[in-house]
């Protein structure tokens, strides 16, 4: 018997999923300022419900928001940057694109490292090799100039992605001279494009002390409770041990959202296959934001082109589109009298008005309370009792400000505006990327996602909605089944037709060796190699699989096919290799769970409003529903961590594992 626990920290709640002897136990507790305290609170709560001790846990997997919070709140480490003479201002200059094209007052985000902590070294490396070797004595002298309050150092020298010898010497000397972490660009991101490589290396240095400090506290608390050392979810959708994450902290920036996509793929995979869907759109609506992603061919779409708060990060990540529209998003009226929702969030303290913690501004959660989707007796997370009167008062104030005639009208408006924002987000990852959403299933999760899913699907003409049983904690559920995964990349700029097969194979062999050195069991690893290709003269690339052996003609055809799919055309131009990549993954055994159901599932009825019309909706205890049960709308399915809504024109079927599959039409 194996007992696994997954814990995901969100902005409002910390979610826990525990599987013990085939039984699925979930828990949700408020997030804490020191996230490790909330993590252990959640583990203890789940263990109590399962009737076990924390020391009975065999495996602990964790997703966190330490890195992304440090970037968004700008409270990471005090970081210094060492770079080539003449390139001190690369972080400041950035690219010529504007954050908002038509806003003359738009400002770029400030660099993580201010100019006074950016230092230059006399050295020169070109794409062809080292021209001016670095002098160790100059590096030692520079180390003495770095202020004593600096917590970490980033090193990014010109063309170190191709010839890292100078950068290796600099990093080695700084590690000897300074008692702080040193992030070297050839270790963080061995790719060309000076600005992006430097920015990504700066991010790694900026978050490394935070990650190291947090993991140390968590390991201490876990060890004191007899819980194993945590394994950490990375942004690429795979897990790694704590040591690896400490050495590559930048890989944790989208830790939690990536876990949600993994969980959605796992929970809805059988539905996708049964209904012959092309893939899945995952929709995670939490307390602060909503995350949308795409799963094709059983694998989450990945990207190496992500910006967070205006900072480019070029490590492999699950491709996730995030908008500021979560359950705690505040509704407001703009200067033109239009109703708006988000991106500001009420958070967990004080939270939405219905939390009864002193919050007065209306949120999406308050609107769902007024609409009857969340009932007066509902206890969020199984503990937090709602203040319905406070929610109505907050919506009444919003109605007065917006010129609406009632709190109900304001609630309906908030619901529609929020749904419109989320519909646009789904269009961005489907229609705007060349995919037809009608051929996909919508997997909705998060505390609020299942309340909005059917309306979103209706707006997009999607006829299948999948609501996993642990939907309110699906990111933590995804942690239990995530594979171990590691990535490596190296720039190799050459025309595909002129590429030396032996040189390409040598680089791929080195990359494969790098990723295999990171996995716990290399013999069990599956390795994929890809090439980033582009037409000569383009400034962007598309990734195509290399296969077992490098073959230029085959790669060219694959690139044409991918370019046609992505952009609708191909051209008869030379194709260029830009980067070569390798990924090693080790599959972990899946922990199957089943839903037995039992007891009285129906909890009565309550008035709920759909499109402004009042209905008597049947309320169900979702965990009491037996597999095979059919639910006709209007209905509300309650459980501790989330609430699912079935509109009047939809019906749902309960699968063996408790997943609810909604389709439009009569029961």
Unique residue bearing structure tokens 């716990």: 520
Give every CB contact of residue 599 below 8 A, 6+ residues apart in sequence: 621, 624
Cα 276 to Cα 292: distance, rounded to the nearest angstrom? 21
Centroid of chain to Cα 339: 28
Contact 655, 274 (CB under 8 A): no
Helices (H), 279-406: 364-370, 388-402
What tens digit of pLDDT does each residue of 420-460 get? 999 999 999 999 888 999 999 999 998 889 999 999 999 99
Which three-class secondary structure state does DSSP give residue 80?
Answer: strand
Cα 356 to Cα 351: distance, rounded to the nearest angstrom? 8
Q: How far is CA 664 from CA 437, 543, 658, in A?
A: 15, 37, 19
Cα 120 to Cα 139: distance, rounded to the nearest angstrom? 10
User: How many residues does the structure list for the chain?
Assistant: 667
Cα 583 to Cα 259: distance, rounded to the nearest angstrom? 18
Instruction: Compute how many other C-beta atoms are within 10 angstroms of the C-beta atom of residue 195.
Output: 16
Tokens matching residue 55: 């020391």
Contact 40, 280 (CB under 8 A): no
Cα 10 to Cα 14: distance, rounded to the nearest angstrom? 6
C-alpha closest to that of 509 among 580, 585, 586, 587? 580
Cα 336 to Cα 332: distance, rounded to the nearest angstrom? 11
Class of domain 484-586: alpha beta
- Which residues in the chain land under pLDDT 50? 667
Give every CB contact of residue 84 below 8 A, 6+ residues apart in sequence: 120, 121, 123, 124, 125, 157, 158
pLDDT of residue 349: 74
Cα 260 to Cα 481: distance, rounded to the nearest angstrom? 11
pLDDT of residue 430: 92
Q: Which residues pair with 29 in a beta bridge?
A: 14
Helix 35-50 with 194-224: angle, nearest 10 deg: 50
pLDDT of residue 378: 63
Centroid of chain to Cα 238: 12
Cα 665 to Cα 650: distance, rounded to the nearest angstrom? 5
Letter string b/e over residues 45-80, b meaning 16 or more CB atoms within 10 A of that residue's CB: bbbebbebebebbebbbbbbbbbbbbbeeeebbebb
Tokens matching residue 184: 């070297």
pLDDT of residue 287: 78
pLDDT of residue 667: 46
Contact 123, 52 (CB under 8 A): no
> CA gyration radius for the chain?
26
Which three-class secondary structure state does DSSP give residue 538?
Answer: coil
Every domain of the chain and the residues it spans: 3-71+212-233, 77-209, 484-586, 615-664
CA dihedral 108, 114, 116, 120 (to 10 degrees): -90
Maximal C-alpha separation, the chain: 79
Class of domain 77-209: alpha beta
pLDDT of residue 623: 87
pLDDT of residue 80: 97
Counting residues of the chain whose pLDDT is more than 90, the rounded percentage is 67
Q: Strands 464-467 and 440-445: what pairing?
A: parallel
Centroid of chain to Cα 627: 31
Q: Is the dihedral of CA 401, 612, 458, 601 positive or negative?
A: positive
pTM of the model: 0.86
Helices (H), 303-406: 364-370, 388-402
Helix 449-459 with 407-429: angle, nearest 10 deg: 70
Cα 651 to Cα 512: distance, rounded to the nearest angstrom? 48
Centroid of chain to Cα 220: 26
Cα 249 to Cα 232: distance, rounded to the nearest angstrom? 11
- Tell me what percent of the chain is helix, strand and coil, each rounded to the nearest 5: 35, 30, 35
Give every CB contact of residue 528 below 8 A, 6+ residues apart in sequence: 545, 582, 583, 585
**Does the 3-71+212-233 domain belong in CATH 3.40.50.970?**
no
What tens digit of pLDDT does each residue of 493-524 get? 999 999 999 999 999 999 999 999 999 889 99
């Amino acid at each position: 018997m194996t007992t696994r626990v997954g814990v995901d920290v969100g902005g409002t709640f910390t979610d826990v999923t525990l599987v013990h002897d085939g039984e699925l136990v979930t828990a949700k507790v408020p997030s804490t300022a020191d996230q490790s305290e909330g993590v252990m609170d959640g583990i203890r709560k789940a263990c109590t419900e399962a009737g076990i001790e924390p020391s009975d846990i065999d495996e602990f997997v964790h997703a966190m928001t330490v890195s992304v919070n440090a970037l968004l709140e700008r409270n990471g480490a005090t970081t210094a940057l060492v770079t080539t003479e003449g390139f001190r201002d690369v972080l400041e200059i950035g690219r010529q694109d504007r954050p908002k094209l038509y806003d003359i007052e738009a400002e770029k985000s400030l660099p993580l490292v201010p100019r006074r902590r950016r230092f230059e070294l006399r050295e020169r490396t070109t794409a062809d090799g080292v021209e001016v070797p670095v002098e160790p004595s100059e590096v030692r002298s520079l180390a003495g100039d770095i202020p004593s309050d600096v917590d970490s150092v980033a090193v990014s020298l010109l063309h170190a992605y191709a010839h890292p010898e100078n950068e290796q010497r600099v990093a080695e000397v700084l590690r000897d001279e300074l008692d702080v972490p040193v992030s070297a660009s050839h270790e963080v991101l061995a790719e060309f494009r000076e600005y992006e490589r430097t920015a990504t290396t700066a991010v790694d240095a900026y978050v490394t002390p935070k990650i190291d400090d947090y993991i140390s506290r968590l390991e201490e608390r876990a060890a004191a409770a007899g819980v194993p050392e945590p394994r950490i979810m990375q942004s690429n959708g795979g897990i790694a041990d704590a040591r690896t994450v400490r050495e590559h902290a930048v890989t944790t920036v989208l830790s939690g959202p990536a876990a949600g996509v993994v969980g959605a793929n796992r929970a809805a995979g059988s539905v996708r296959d049964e209904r012959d869907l092309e893939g899945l759109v995952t929709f995670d609506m939490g307390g602060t934001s909503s995350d949308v992603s795409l799963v094709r061919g059983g694998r989450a779409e990945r990207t190496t082109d992500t910006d967070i708060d205006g900072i480019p990060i070029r490590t492999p990540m699950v491709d996730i589109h995030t908008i500021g529209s979560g359950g705690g998003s505040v509704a407001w009226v703009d200067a033109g009298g239009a109703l708006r929702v988000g991106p500001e969030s009420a958070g967990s303290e004080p939270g939405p008005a219905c939390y009864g913690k002193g919050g007065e501004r209306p949120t999406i959660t308050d609107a769902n309370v007024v609409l009857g989707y969340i009932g007066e007796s509902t206890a969020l997370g199984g503990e937090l009792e709602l203040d319905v009167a406070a929610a109505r008062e907050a919506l009444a104030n919003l109605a007065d400000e917006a010129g609406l005639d009632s709190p109900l009208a304001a609630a309906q408006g908030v619901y529609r505006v929020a749904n419109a924002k989320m519909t646009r987000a789904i269009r961005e990852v489907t229609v705007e990327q060349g995919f037809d959403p009608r051929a996909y299933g919508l997997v909705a999760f998060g505390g609020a996602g299942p309340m909005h899913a059917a309306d979103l699907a209706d707006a997009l003409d999607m006829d299948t909605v999948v609501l996993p049983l642990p939907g309110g904690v699906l990111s933590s559920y995804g942690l239990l089944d995530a594979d171990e995964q590691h990535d490596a990349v190296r720039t190799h700029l050459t025309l595909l037709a002129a590429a030396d097969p032996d040189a390409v194979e040598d680089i791929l062999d080195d990359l494969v060796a790098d990723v295999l050195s990171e996995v716990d069991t290399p013999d069990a690893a599956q390795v994929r190699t890809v090439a980033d290709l582009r037409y000569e003269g383009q400034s962007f690339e598309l990734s195509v699989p290399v296969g077992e052996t490098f073959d230029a003609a085959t790669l060219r055809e694959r690139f044409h096919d991918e370019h046609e799919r992505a952009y609708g055309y191909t051209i008869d131009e030379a194709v260029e290799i830009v980067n070569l990549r390798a990924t090693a993954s080790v599959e972990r055994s899946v922990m199957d769970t089943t839903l037995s159901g039992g007891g009285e599932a129906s909890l009565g009825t309550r008035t709920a409003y759909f499109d402004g019309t009042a209905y008597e909706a049947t309320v169900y205890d979702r965990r009491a529903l037996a597999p095979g049960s059919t639910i006709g709308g209007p209905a509300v399915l309650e459980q501790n961590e989330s609430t699912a809504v079935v509109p009047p024109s939809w019906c749902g079927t309960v699968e063996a594992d408790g997943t609810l599959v909604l389709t439009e039409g009569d029961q």
